Amino acid sequence: MKTALTRVLAAMLPAVLGLGIAAAATPMPLLLQSPSVSKTQIAFAYGGEIWTVARDGGEARRLVAGSGRLAGPIFSPDGGMIAYTGEYDGNVDVYVVPAAGGEPRRLTYHPGADVALAWTPDGTRVAFRSPRASVADPEQMYTVPAAGGFPTEVPLPRVQEASYAPDGSHLAYEPNFQWQPAWKSYRGGQTARIWIADLADSSIVKVPQAGNSNDKNPMWVGDSVYFLSDRNGPVSLFAYDLGSRAVREVVKNDGLDIGSASAGPGAIVYEQFGSLHLLDLTSGQDRTVPVRLAADMPQLRPHFLQLDPVKDILAAGISPTGQRAVFEAHGEIVTVPAEKGDIRDITNTPGAAERDPAWSPDGTRIAYFSDESGEYALYVRPQDGLGEVRKIDLGNPPSFFYAPTWSPDSKKIAYSDKRLNLWVVDLERPTPVKVDTDRFDSPAHEFDVRWSPDSRWLAYTKQLPSQLRAVFVYPLAGGKATQVTDGMSDALYPVFDAGGKYLYFTASTNVGLTAGWLDMTSIGHPLTRSVYAAVLKKGVASPIPPQSDEEKAKGADKGKKEDAAANADAKNGEAKAKDGKAEKAAAVAIDFDGLDQRIVALPIPAKNYRGLWAGKEGKLFLVEGPLVDVEAGPPKLDVSRFDLETRKTEPLLEGVSAFALSANGEKVLYRSGPAWHIVGSDKAPKGGDGALAMKGLKVYVDPKAEWAQMYREVWRIERDFFYDPHFHGLDLAAAEKAYAPYLAGIASRDDLSALFAEMTGNLTVGHTFVRGGAEPKSDKVSVGLLGADYTIDGGRYRFARVYSGENWNPDLQAPLTQPGVDVKAGEYLLAVNGRELSAADELYSFFLETAGKQTVIRVGPTANGKGARDLTVVPVASERGLRHLAWIEGNRRKVDELSGGRVAYVYLPDTAGGGYTSFNRYFFAQVGKQAAVLDERFNHGGELADYIIDYLRRPPMSRVMTREGEDYTEPVESIYGPKVMIINQFAGSGGDAMPWYFKKAGIGPLVGVRTWGGLVGIGGYPVLMDGGRITAPRWAIYGLSGKWEVENEGIAPDIEVEQDPKLVREGHDPQLERAVQAVLELLAKNPPPTFERPAYPVYEHPLPQWPKGSS
């Protein structure tokens, strides 16, 4: 692998220079994508816009511009029109525009992403793929009249790319959608392949793959189907002869992959990441097409950006007295006043990323991490942004750093790094000192470091071999850290009381069921933590001594008497300097001997606490999360305030998303909904109290500088987070250098994402995803849906199927089956909001801006409107949930029918919260069945499915009887008969692991096709400056035999069954039907066990004997 990658990288630089010579006006590689060719022109996408250039090359002309992303131009057969995919109004749809220029015309309106694929050979219709009828990943193909109208479905179960035969009778197409198309040398279940379908009956012929090669981008030319393939190494051009069924290589490629290609009159045009090429099909000549661009590119313009106070703020803090908040936002450090003054961008570095701001307790400085010098370092600057900035190098090797935490005397900063180390740096002697190293790299890793009030001790948590956590204390004067808690509970959130006498923390003894963060068994368990105080010095009384109400003698001393040690500590901690000077910090002394016996439980209710904050002496703030974690987004938090003197806990905040306490303990910063607030810490605020004015939260953006920083950041993330320090043989430094020239020619954020995907694809691993970023946005225009399929009949739209849902469930409400609506299949949709609807109209264009809004539809039993009625419905934004539910319930009924009611059907959409809920719903409701079919097709993973495997293999252990009712088997919640699991190529990650575990446990056979083959884990990466995200697999899973058994392979079935398009068209589900057949065969060989009830025991029972006649 290393040799091949090195060869490809070495080939890049000459290719770049060659393009620069050919296009002197634009001396950089340009990411010209998705080219299409006519007799005279080449169309392509660049910078989110559609362009054309003469076939011989030259100056390109912008054909279509827009506020969203425009992609995938396709010439009509006569070259007069271009179809393309456009994102306007927040929706992805199919458009056509004259090739000579003119006004684009919208052809589709469905809210799903409609992507243009091809023209029909007669040029009257445009083919596109759409998820509109999908129940999961794959999309179907439709054609729509070029003049406008309602689309017609092409009868194939799934289509990704397609090309028509010249007579339109057959279709060469890709059936596989790929989650990660840039994954180089991929060989799992989603490898691209090309099938040729007879559209009369959907029967197929498969273009032969070489092993499990990726064959994609079919182009039907005469008697051949040209396509792109990686069967010989880098993706190149091949041809399949329809007569001989032989495959030949057309273009030999030792360089970068060919990204896409398109056939036109006498030629094929293709892109090779940074250049366009034209292959003459008659002569076989292959040449580079020189393209010059001399145009303004809107996305390159520097500008001020209004930031979103929720999405764009990645870290937040509060000044020591609560006068201002400090935020990390879009790579800058900004401060916002509580009431008066202006928002300040104190860094203002468009080409550098600043992270994790922390305000010094003395109020003068703000510390943060920045990569301004090339690698992240610690920076300290005046809080007003003026004056000298101090940079502190944090040593080698470079890393990502987190959570700078000031000492109360503002002289030291503790922080952690990605390599699980905890550090402290003295600003007067700025050489970092390592405090400790954590044991496991897991989401549970967080030191949660806190300082003692005298700045001489650090308290933090660290993982133990049990993966529970314990509290440790480290002396800054030197020496080793000491473990404070005994490890028999999960201890978190240590914090010193301001008086210096106590160390508070939480501990839980029921965290064990949730500690296996990667295990599905960790889902759904209630978690509580109690709050404790460790009395640090011997001789100091408990913070909660016994209380007793007593009469006091008249004139008696009202003050409480404390023992000598406590009194001395109190004097040290509470003495105030005169003449307005700051309070002297309480001195902290710790007697570790016997400390475990000086830990007391505070009278605070046990809850799922997510954090502790110490305010003034004896005041503690508790951040509480839900008892059971929900997976849909960050939890809402409640904050309460505990007073040690009164021993009372009072609510302070409810339903907040972020919380911080000022250094003086008097103010709090929190976010509620989209609003940030600063309020006093002494009482619960009212609704809008202390709201910060965030409308002026803007930063200056220089896209070119920002993209260059993010380019470096992506490589740093891969360097520091990728599980293999050798990067699967890739020379990471060489790759970074080789791809760098492309930055100069990038004209849109979408192009930058394409660059990121291409370069990280060289790691040859799953889960390297590129997401989001500051892409152009337009106002979203919603499109409402009724939850139905339609046909055209009598010039009208007719309901072919009406989907029911679960109208009691807010997420599965079906508009047409609500009480009082009751629309039936076979009825006609005649009008929408008073507008007459006919077959010549595009149905969904009548539902613009209706999602979630009351809409009046006219429905009738006949096309002529006789007997019609007006109904008020509320269209939904997506039908996916309704269609998915209908598919699951249809499968369950089918299994019930085929098995005579003996076999359960359980669908598993993922191995996270959805799969947990679905398994619990469907499995336990069918425990009376004799066998089970588990369907994990389209499973998107999550955790490792030990929970499901454990239940599937539970054997019968005993029987239970009672005087009344039936006997039953223990454990009762189980199906003891045979089990079969259905798998497909769209099951991956946790969906790879579940059938792997199923097979390893010997539960039963697997039916279907090979799974995705992406069994690595991701999470916890720095967000890119503009909000984009990149992943680098940091957890890799291997088998007990010491082999990589799943990654880039997938799990193969025991019984291979493809979803044959012809059978699917006829109404079959071949995989489901074969799974039922398999489980019934197993059931015949191994019928359910029967158990004989034993006879009741009979024992000798001597009874008292009494003389006859006695009473």
SS3 688: coil
**In angstroms, rounded to a whole number, what is the distance separating the alpha carbons of residues 347 and 370?**
10
Short-list 4, 138, 154, CA closest to 729: 4
**In angstroms, rounded to a whole number, what is the distance separating the alpha carbons of residues 657 and 1053?**
45
Q: Are 856 and 871 in contact (CB under 8 A)?
A: yes
Element (H, E) at 993: helix 990-1000
The DSSP 8-state label assigned to residue 529 in this structure reads: B
How is residue 519 written in tokens? Answer: 């295990």
Q: Which of 214-218, 391-395, 831-835, 1087-1091 has the lowest mean pLDDT?
A: 1087-1091
Mean pLDDT score across all residues of the chain: 93
- pLDDT confidence of 14, banded at 50, 70, 90? very low
Instruction: Return the pLDDT at 575.
Output: 39
457-463 β-sheet, strand order: 450-451, 457-463, 469-475, 482-483
Region 363-385: mean pLDDT is 98
Which DSSP string do the residues of 749-798 spell out, in sequence order? HHHHHHHHHHHHGGG--TT--EE--S--------B-B-SEEEEEETTEEE
* pLDDT at 841 exceeding the cut of 60: yes
Q: Are 335 and 353 in contact (CB under 8 A)?
A: no
For 1, 231, 414, 439, 894, the CA distances from 234, given in Å and listed in that order, are 12, 8, 48, 41, 45
Close Cβ partners of 66 (under 8 Å, ≥ 6 residues apart): 48, 49, 86, 87, 88
The DSSP 8-state label assigned to residue 889 in this structure reads: H
- pLDDT confidence of 20, banded at 50, 70, 90? very low
How is residue 44 written in tokens? Answer: 């392509």
Instruction: Return the pLDDT at 196.
Output: 99
Instruction: Return the pLDDT at 573.
Output: 38
User: Tokens 């759409």 correspond to what residue?
Assistant: 130
Region 314-340: mean pLDDT is 98
**In angstroms, rounded to a whole number, what is the distance separating the alpha carbons of residues 769 and 756?**
9
- pLDDT confidence of 554, banded at 50, 70, 90? low
Amino acid sitting at position 370? S
SS3 573: helix
Q: Which of 626-630, 875-879, 884-888 has the lowest mean pLDDT?
A: 626-630
For 29, 132, 272, 286, 300, the CA distances from 24, given in Å and listed in that order, are 11, 46, 19, 21, 21
Short-list 757, 741, 750, CA closest to 708: 741
788-876: CATH topology is Pdz3 Domain (2.30.42)
Close Cβ partners of 88 (under 8 Å, ≥ 6 residues apart): 66, 67, 68, 106, 778
Element (H, E) at 71: strand 70-75
Instruction: Return the pLDDT at 776.
Output: 80
**In angstroms, rounded to a whole number, what is the distance separating the alpha carbons of residues 381 and 389?**
5
Rg (CA), the chain: 34
SS3 505: strand
How is residue 585 written in tokens? Answer: 């910090």
- pLDDT confidence of 656, banded at 50, 70, 90? very high
For domain 902-1015+1050-1085, the CATH architecture is Alpha-Beta Complex (3.90)
* pLDDT at 89 exceeding the cut of 90: no
Which DSSP string do the residues of 1046-1082 spell out, in sequence order? STTT----SEE----HHHHHTT--HHHHHHHHHHHHH
Region 90-105: mean pLDDT is 96
Helix axes 732-739, 749-760, angle to 10 degrees: 150
Element (H, E) at 896: helix 880-899
How is residue 55 written in tokens? Answer: 């076939």
- pLDDT confidence of 561, banded at 50, 70, 90? very low
Strands (E), 937-1086: 958-960, 968-970, 979-983, 1006-1008, 1016-1017, 1029-1030, 1035-1036, 1055-1056
Count CA within 13 A, CB hemisphere, residue 690.
21
Q: What is the 3-state secondary structure (H, E, C) of 465-499?
A: CCCCEEEEEEECCCCCCEECCCCCCEEEEEEECCC
**In angstroms, rounded to a whole number, what is the distance separating the alpha carbons of residues 748 and 742?**
12
Short-list 671, 666, 624, 669, CA closest to 649: 624
Q: pLDDT tens digits, residue range 495-552?
A: 999 999 999 999 999 998 888 889 999 999 999 999 999 999 999 999 999 999 988 7
- pLDDT confidence of 563, banded at 50, 70, 90? very low
Instruction: Return the pLDDT at 777.
Output: 78
Sketch the domain layout of the chain as residue ranges: 788-876, 902-1015+1050-1085
Q: pLDDT tens digits, residue range 231-279?
A: 999 999 999 999 999 999 999 999 999 999 999 999 999 999 999 999 9
- pLDDT confidence of 27, banded at 50, 70, 90? low
Q: pLDDT tens digits, residue range 50-81?
A: 999 999 999 999 999 977 899 999 999 999 99
Angle, vertex CA 270, rays to CA 224 and CA 281, nearest 5: 40
* pLDDT at 1104 exceeding the cut of 50: yes
**In angstroms, rounded to a whole number, what is the distance separating the alpha carbons of residues 231 and 250?**
13
User: 659 burial class (0-12, 13-18, 19+ CB within 10 angstroms)?
Assistant: buried
* pLDDT at 566 exceeding the cut of 50: no
Instruction: Return the pLDDT at 796.
Output: 98
For 30, 88, 748, the CA distances from 751, given in Å and listed in that order, are 10, 18, 5
Instruction: Return the pLDDT at 582.
Output: 53
Q: pLDDT tens digits, residue range 440-479?
A: 998 878 899 999 999 999 999 999 999 999 999 999 998 8
Q: Are 119 and 74 in contact (CB under 8 A)?
A: yes
Q: pLDDT tens digits, residue range 730-787?
A: 999 999 999 999 999 999 999 999 999 999 999 999 999 999 898 887 788 999 999 9
* pLDDT at 295 exceeding the cut of 50: yes
User: Tokens 């002297």 correspond to what residue?
Assistant: 584
Please tell me the pTM assigned to this model. Answer: 0.93
How is residue 854 written in tokens? Answer: 């009351």
Instruction: Return the pLDDT at 515.
Output: 87
Cis upstream peptide for 1107 (omega within 30°):
no
- pLDDT confidence of 583, banded at 50, 70, 90? low
- pLDDT confidence of 317, banded at 50, 70, 90? very high
**437-474 as b/e: b if 16+ CB within 10 A:** ebeebbebbbbbbbbbbbbbbbbbbbbbeebbbbbbbb
Cis upstream peptide for 685 (omega within 30°):
no
Residue-level length of the chain: 1111
* pLDDT at 569 exceeding the cut of 60: no
**In angstroms, rounded to a whole number, what is the distance separating the alpha carbons of residues 110 and 93?**
8
Question: Which residues are 354's β-sheet partners?
Answer: 370
Region 324-330: mean pLDDT is 99
In the chain, % helix, strand, coil (3-state, to 5) comes to: 15, 35, 50
Q: Are 441 and 1034 in contact (CB under 8 A)?
A: yes
Please report the sign of the dihedral spanned by the C-alpha atoms of residue 890, residue 891, residue 893, residue 898. Answer: positive
**In angstroms, rounded to a whole number, what is the distance separating the alpha carbons of residues 370 and 386?**
17
For 28, 53, 83, 251, the CA distances from 56, given in Å and listed in that order, are 19, 8, 22, 20
Which DSSP string do the residues of 267-328 spell out, in sequence order? EEEEE-SS-EEEEETTT--EEEE-EE--S--GGGS-EEEEPPTTTSEEEEEE-TTSSEEEEE
* pLDDT at 26 exceeding the cut of 80: no
- pLDDT confidence of 28, banded at 50, 70, 90? confident
Question: Which residues are 642's β-sheet partners?
Answer: 620, 649
* pLDDT at 128 exceeding the cut of 90: yes
